[in-house]
Amino acid sequence: MCGRYHQHKPREALELMFEIGQILDELADFTPRWNIAPTQRAPVVRALPDGTRTLSLLRWGLVPRWTRAPDTKTALKDAGRLINARAETAPDKPSFREAVVRRRCLVPATGFYEWRRAGQTVKQPFNITPVEGVFFAFGGLWERWQPPPTPDGPGGALETFSILTCAANADMAGLHDRMPVIIPQAAFNAWLDPGLADLAALAHLVEPAAPGSLALAPAHPSVNSVRNEGPELLRP
């Protein structure tokens, strides 16, 4: 699974790396992050019907379009259960199947965390980064949920995302049996194409990353708390 990750590249770097053509909101709270946790906002890359790539901040934890909730706060209560979607079963799950076909996205990350138990109570976090390159592009799904209207008028739409996972490769097997789906740069257009509904054509993109492509290093135990932030979390 993927329950915590980091993305500390500046916005301008993401715009270049992902060839962003449009910023969908002001990204006023876009800051480098070393400890992104579920329900928090994080950068996501999507594509418009004409292929233009967009960058915006969405909340991590999917709220399906059909969710019945009286308000945004209530809708987000269950979002923490849908931070990940298993690539093998997502096309058949009501929460994900429509997004798999129509609303795929890329989730930029400079690395992610996984934990190994050391003793009865202590868990040692590990920082997983790419051996080559400076960032990951996780395969993701996104949704837009519209809250019911209030006496003051319609509320603002809530946009959320989930990270797809697959079986762990040989690098990750000693830590966890799952890992994020990593989309290679050459496949960005195909993955983001909202007109490509033939999932068979994308099946090869949700397989585990090649062995030897991930670097694992102990991270600082402070990463265990979502309240902690900063580059010092990457230090052993």
Label residue 1 exposed, middle or buried (CB < 10 Å: 0-12, 13-18, 19+). Answer: middle
Catalytic residue status for 105: no
CB 145 within 8 A of CB 157: yes
| Strand residue runs (E) in the chain | 5-7, 22-23, 33-36, 41-47, 53-60, 84-86, 104-109, 111-118, 122-130, 136-145, 158-167, 178-180, 214-218
For residue 211, the Cα-to-chain-centroid distance in whole angstroms is: 21
Point out the catalytic residue in the list 105, 114, 143, 159. Answer: 114
Active site residues: 2, 114
